[in-house]
Amino acid sequence: MYRLAAFDVDGTLLKSDSSLSEATHQALKTMKESGIEIVISSGRPLPGVELIQDLVGKDLVRYLSSFNGGRIVDTWSDNQVIFEAILPPAEVGEICDFLADYDVDINTYDDHNVLGLKEPNHQYMAHEAQLTGMPIKIENFVENETKVNKLMVTGDPAYLETVRQDLPEDWFDRWNIVKSAPYFLEFNPVDANKGAGLAHLSQEIGVDQEQTMAFGDQENDLTMIEWAGLGVAMGNAVASVKAVADFVTHTNDEEGISHVVDQFITKN
């Protein structure tokens, strides 16, 4: 019997036009009525995840996992923090110094803004601001030693992939470095990933690993799909995510979540 289900947002919970289908909404209601707690697990900062909670319904979603599992809160208890991971200022400076000569934009977040290290050269930071519902504010967060849960590096997809390949090999052991979209390269503390976040939440609320489900489509979803008792890759997922999934469902535009609920919840 499943008791906790984690959902990525873009490409998973939402359709490609960023809408929530009626079938998906009904599937979430069915899960909740079956005793399954729902957690939205996103790379977005908390205000951006709260937008999705508002869309789904606060009565259905209690827990929010933001920054790829780097900050988890209980929204029914005044956003009590269940887990939080932070990048130390020295590490933030090291990453930003290395990337200074690359044609990329770098941002982090405070409680109300997308904080750009400098005026952006590309449209992707503006896209991030739109997704999160937060305005862009230019601020030297390195010098200010602003609290950083996640660094976002954005740029043209092909170029950004060459940047990733240029990163020192040991960096992938020091930090959790993943793509959430072809134009988003994210740096998180090494202990912050969606799988670890799901594990922290499961322990906090007394749910066994085999009682968990996770749904996703991108590289930053891989750890939670691998960790969950039932890891579900959307039909539109990248190959690496499909490779570790227990089940590959239909795409996000073909009611993939509803299909899983029919197969694993309703029939049982």
Q: Under 8 Å CB-to-CB from 267, ≥6 apart: which residues?
A: none
Q: pLDDT (tens digit, 9 = 90+) per residue, 40-92? A: 999 999 999 999 999 999 999 999 999 999 999 999 999 999 999 999 999 99
How much is the pLDDT for 195? 97
How much is the pLDDT for 90? 98
Helix (H) or strand (E) holding 138: strand 136-138
Q: pLDDT (tens digit, 9 = 90+) per residue, 89-112? A: 999 999 999 999 999 999 999 999
All domains of the chain in start order, with CATH: 4-85+192-266 (3.40.50.1000), 89-189 (3.30.1240.10)
Distance of CA 119 to the CA centre of its chain: 25
Q: Does the pLDDT at position 268 exceed 80?
A: no
How much is the pLDDT for 267? 79
- Per-residue confidence band for 117, with pLDDT thresholds at 50, 70 and 90: very high
Q: pLDDT (tens digit, 9 = 90+) per residue, 118-168? A: 999 999 999 999 999 999 999 999 999 999 999 999 999 999 999 999 999
Q: pLDDT (tens digit, 9 = 90+) per residue, 33-48? A: 999 999 999 999 999 9
Under a CB-based contact definition with an 8 Å cutoff, are residues 83 and 188 in contact? no
How much is the pLDDT for 239? 98
* Exposure string over 193-230, b if 16+ CB within 10 A, otherwise e: bbbbbbbbbbeeeebeeebbbbbbbbbbbbbbbbbbbb
How much is the pLDDT for 33? 97
Residue whose entry in the numeric block shows the structure tokens 């990248």: 238
| Average confidence (pLDDT) over 198-219 | 98
Phi first, then psi, for residue 60 (nearest 5°) are: -95, -30
Strands (E), 150-189: 151-154, 175-181, 184-189
Percent of the chain with pLDDT over 70: 100
d(C-alpha 197, C-alpha 69), whole Å: 4
The CA–CA distances, whole Å, from 14 to 104, 209, 216 equal 27, 25, 11
| Average confidence (pLDDT) over 210-239 | 98
* Exposure string over 21-56, b if 16+ CB within 10 A, otherwise e: bebbbebbbebbeeebbbbbbbbbbbbbbbbbbebb
- Average of per-residue pLDDT values in the chain: 97
How much is the pLDDT for 74? 98
